[in-house]
Amino acid sequence: MKIHGIGTDIPDTQVDGSRRVLVEELAQAQSAGFALAELSLPSLNVIINGQLIPQRVAAIQQALEPFNLRYSAHAPGRTNLAFGPDTDMEYRVLEACVRFCGAIGAQVLVYHSGLQALDAARTGAAPLPSDDELARGGEREADALRKLAPIASDMGVTIGMENGDPHLWEYVLLLRQGKAPADLAQYHARMRTAAIVKQVEAVNHPGVRITLDLGHLYLATQALGEDYLDAIRTAAPWVCHLHINDNFGKLDAGVDYEGYRLPYGEADLHLPPGWGAIPFAEAFARLDDFEGDIVLEIKSRYREHLDEALANTRRVLRDNGHGLCQEYGSIAEPSEVEPGELCEN
């Protein structure tokens, strides 16, 4: 592994449109020793009705300027080029996200793979899609990304398609439609890394790769009864960006409040690494050829433990001989680091 730096996400629920809070979060990230901050586009008020607002982008650029950090960005979680209700608007929003990344120099835009086709059925807006409709949705996403990828590449941006995790409501919806639990991966295909690899191969452009979320994948493989490490190995050649956090691989019980989930170890908890059951050492071993950044996605209620999350991640990397080159405010070229060498602050 050639890790350019370890970063932290800046949760949208934390910022919620406030530049003051954004600056406070960036200051915390920098003081903790992170090299990178991942900004959540929904929290910044820079995209309105599918349009990037230049003066708001300029205000964010001004907020970022004092910090010695690099940046990635995360598109809205609902953006869906495959099964969104308005395909033109979905494209406009994602293109605006790409152009924001170009404006601030963010090298990776994280986009949740669109291979989740249950939202319309959940709201009652449409029945479950047929097999033909599922296939057409995948083709729509690949077509849109083929159009967007050159735009992103020209700006130095890579779109990293992120894998998904299962939810109780999806199983309930399928059961009400007479489907078996085993059918979930048909309608929520982004739970499987092989499905995202297929999309990346269909796009066939270096501007589209995979953001591998190791927490989502642990939940997905446990639910599907599949091998976690094999799923990582399938994605590995295409991974440009890593999201990590911890959980126990347990499906949610339909409860959203984190204070109720945590005592039971349920759902996508976004815990600091080391608090849950994910085998990070074994996971990293399947990513020997990975080159890029690691971003810790830690929920707001655990922000006071960011120092511990960073220390735990560094320890796993060091103990397994992976090459981390992270210096406060500057990232050395990977070629300057011997395998296994650790560049500390």
Query: Which domain range does residue 125 map to?
Result: 2-343
Contacts 24+ apart (CB under 8 A), 170-178: 170/118, 171/251, 172/254, 173/118, 173/121, 173/122, 174/128, 177/121, 177/127, 177/128
* R_g over Cα of the chain: 19
By residue count, the chain amounts to 345
CA distances from 94 to 41, 91, 254 (A): 10, 5, 30
Distance CA(164)–CA(166), nearest Å, equals 7
Bridge pairing between strands 51-52 and 47-48: antiparallel
pLDDT for 324: 54
Provide the domain count of the chain.
Answer: 1
CATH number at residue 269: 3.20.20.150
The pLDDT tens digits along the chain (345 residues) read 999 999 999 988 889 999 999 999 999 999 999 999 999 999 999 999 999 999 999 999 999 999 999 999 999 999 999 999 999 999 999 999 999 999 999 999 999 999 999 999 999 999 999 999 999 999 999 999 999 999 999 999 999 999 999 999 999 999 999 999 999 999 999 999 999 999 999 999 999 999 999 999 999 999 999 999 999 999 999 999 999 999 999 999 999 999 999 999 999 999 999 999 999 999 999 999 999 999 999 999 999 999 999 999 999 999 877 655 544 333 333 333 333 334 433
pLDDT for 337: 38
> Other C-beta atoms within 10 Å of 29: how many?
24
pLDDT for 170: 97
Q: Which helix (H) or strand (E) is 17 found in, with range?
A: none
pLDDT for 322: 66
